[in-house]
Structure 1
């Protein structure tokens, strides 16, 4: 008896969705692959079909997502943006300069969103988080992110080796560089949070402080290692997954006033789109 084997590329699942109460909670990871954006769109559409008007918000969990395919992260963010800049890549060579702009549709119908991040959120995952935050499309909750904002090109060498070159650096829609800086959570949980209520109330009480931190972050268009370090220390990156982060996300989605205030704290001037 013989067997016929067929070689086939296996694309692992990267989108895990469930409905909790009135919320759709989606985990994306361990990284973005060829099917991520398509699967994400399908999961959101299915939840809206099943829940109808009862669906009141979406949580996107990017904790410990190490990156993966940049184009899939851009497409995933674009799913929730009707307009605006998704991000950009900039390098020394003219061909390295790219702008990623929203295509004009929101598959969620504008539902409130919270994005969870931590110190393991890196590269392409940071692009998605920054895109949704800068466009005031989502509130970011968690610790500082990893700060890996470079694009590499790999070239084959005659001796069967490979040469990896840093081709460009990734920038958020507002213009700040992601490399060695990362994405600033609106609600920082570094070091732990005593209660969910305290975290939500902190959005109201410390609004001015949060706005100032965001403004300083958005000003980092060019890399300043000393300033980047100081900013990162205001909400240190921690590679931990805390249950309270998800609880805070749910609480924000249930509190319309607190959610709107938190989303509005990102007063960024989105970089002008380039045709």
Structure 2
């Protein structure tokens, strides 16, 4: 069994994750027993003592029998009257997928082949385009492209809708079928037709499939400021991040008398992944107090995790960059750092995926990817459907994309937000004086963004500027609550 927080179906590079195995779901490697969610056994002791409850049970049982009879009747009719012969196995698989898939956007039934595909893609290398995608009301929508992949280099953006593959509509296909069409032998060409909601225009892109090698940690040194980008939360993430940070500490020390003045942690377009890695990363910066808690249907399975008296930066200022593609595990880290006032969150509101999925194998018949819990930030807030609001809102471009930004709340069958101590985030009143000097929009003539040229990344440049301002005028923000 594997427990992941992460989103979203990944395409070829993506994972069929949210609705079918991310990390797929986009998205990280092999099965592990991160956290067991045991299913409570039904015993005679669980019978309800009250006569009223027994009547309710009898009514429910009678209704269940009627509905199962109806299911059998429909199968018989379809089997005998459909325009062409169809096997019962296909009908039953369709019923299973609908039964689980219509619960919420992140639950799904996986037949043995789909389960194998997910396991292959979670190995960390997969052939395809490098897309994280999600089923959305019959459409295939991009959650985020993976860095330095054919999809990212072609300019595909979060929120784009894939309408055609090789000039053929995929409107009538399931997400799994659409993903399979996008897979193929490395080096082969594929034509995608993309609808961009914020412009209302379509464009046709020709891409070459590749073996997707996911570099989960990228780092750089900008002056005395450490920059670390996390692209997804797989098994090795925290280890690799710590290694990258230690190298930056050594790099800056090569100049006599110089030390790091702060850290920019870039979680933009990071769709999530392993819950244990989100906790481990948070513990690298938060010494004391709760990191995250999860609450499910059965109280005995509720859990919470605290800091372990560790801060690898020793209290340096931290700025976290987020956008609408920052989901799940990314939101756990952002929420923990924000609630503890350990970092300033900058950029755009996050995706809003506040649920935990558990993969439950069902013998040799595949598995169920089932939403089993909601998670809560240290303040007791569920971000399900809401996301994390930045402390300092900074847009990537001058265009106001807010009306076209894609979030969890836009999905069909979205899970409700319940159990929060509050639904609205408390405004920060302890931001450093330098926060007032941060520009929210790029200048009129700001150059077009080029991922190979950090100087064109407006949000990054503002984050670096804020770290410098915080260093020049120390505030209480860096202390732990």
Match of 2:229 among 2, 27, 36: 27
Report the CA distance between 1:259 and its aligned residue: 7.8
For these two proteins, the number of residue pairs brought into alignment is 223
Report the CA distance between 1:48 and its aligned residue: 1.7
Write 1 or 2 for the structure with the bigger share of helix.
1
2:102 maps to none
1:141 maps to 346
2:463 maps to 249
> What are the equivalent positions in structure 2 for 1:196-215 lying under 5 Å apart?
none
Task: For residues 158-186 of structure 1, give each alpha carbon's deviation from its aligned partner in whole angstroms, at most 9, with x where no partner exists.
Answer: 56232232111011111110210111100
TM-score using structure 1 length: 0.71
Q: Is the 8 A contact 2:326 2:351 kept in 1?
A: yes
2:366 maps to 161
Q: For the residues of structure 1 that align with 2:225 and 2:390, how far apart are their CA atoms?
A: 21
Q: For the residues of structure 2 that align with 1:176 and 1:108, how far apart are their CA atoms?
A: 27
Report the CA distance between 1:157 and its aligned residue: 2.8
Report the CA distance between 1:192 and its aligned residue: 4.8
Segments ≥4 residues shifted beyond 3 Å: 9-12, 190-194, 220-224, 257-264
Task: For residues 18-75 of structure 1, give each alpha carbon's deviation from its aligned partner in whole angstroms, at most 9, with x where no partner exists.
Answer: 101111111100x111110001111112222232443101001000000011110110
Q: For the residues of structure 2 that align with 1:191 and 1:106, how far apart are their CA atoms?
A: 30
Partner of 1:129: helix, strand, or coil?
A: helix
Q: For the residues of structure 2 that align with 1:20 and 1:38, how far apart are their CA atoms?
A: 22
Quickly say closer, same or farther: Cα 1:19–1:13, change in 2 above 3 A: same
Q: Is the 8 A contact 1:252 1:258 kept in 2?
A: no
Q: Is the 8 A contact 1:175 1:221 kept in 2?
A: no
Deviates more, 1:73-82 or 1:251-260: 251-260
Quickly say closer, same or farther: Cα 1:141–1:221, change in 2 above 3 A: farther
Q: For the residues of structure 1 that align with 2:368 and 2:294, how far apart are their CA atoms?
A: 20
Q: For the residues of structure 1 that align with 2:237 and 2:245, how far apart are their CA atoms?
A: 12
Report the CA distance between 1:94 and its aligned residue: 2.0
Q: Does 2:255 match 1:50?
A: no
Q: Is the 8 A contact 1:117 1:145 kept in 2?
A: yes
Q: Is the 8 A contact 1:88 1:173 kept in 2?
A: yes
Q: Is the 8 A contact 2:394 2:459 kept in 1?
A: yes
Q: Is the 8 A contact 2:261 2:471 kept in 1?
A: no
Quickly say closer, same or farther: Cα 1:161–1:63, change in 2 above 3 A: same
2:268 maps to 63
State the Cα RMSD in Å: 3.3
Q: Is the 8 A contact 1:149 1:177 kept in 2?
A: yes
> What are the equivalent positions in structure 2 for 1:1-275 lying under 5 Å apart?
10=124, 12-29=214-231, 31-52=232-253, 53-158=258-363, 160-190=365-395, 192=397, 222=419, 243-256=457-470, 263=477
2:445 maps to none
Q: Is the 8 A contact 2:396 2:457 kept in 1?
A: no
Deviates more, 1:49-58 or 1:61-70: 49-58
Gaps of 5+ in 1: 1-6, 195-219, 232-239, 265-269, 271-275
Q: Is the 8 A contact 2:291 2:336 kept in 1?
A: yes
Q: For the residues of structure 2 that align with 1:257 and 1:121, how far apart are their CA atoms?
A: 27
Q: Is the 8 A contact 2:317 2:471 kept in 1?
A: no
TM-score using structure 2 length: 0.42
Gaps of 5+ in 2: 1-119, 126-213, 400-416, 428-448
Q: For the residues of structure 2 that align with 1:57 and 1:221, how far apart are their CA atoms?
A: 36
Q: Greater CA radius of gyration, 1 or 2? A: 2
Deviates more, 1:163-172 or 1:67-76: 163-172
Report the CA distance between 1:189 and its aligned residue: 2.3
Report the CA distance between 1:154 and its aligned residue: 2.0
Q: For the residues of structure 1 that align with 2:233 and 2:261, how far apart are their CA atoms?
A: 26
Partner of 1:185: helix, strand, or coil?
A: coil
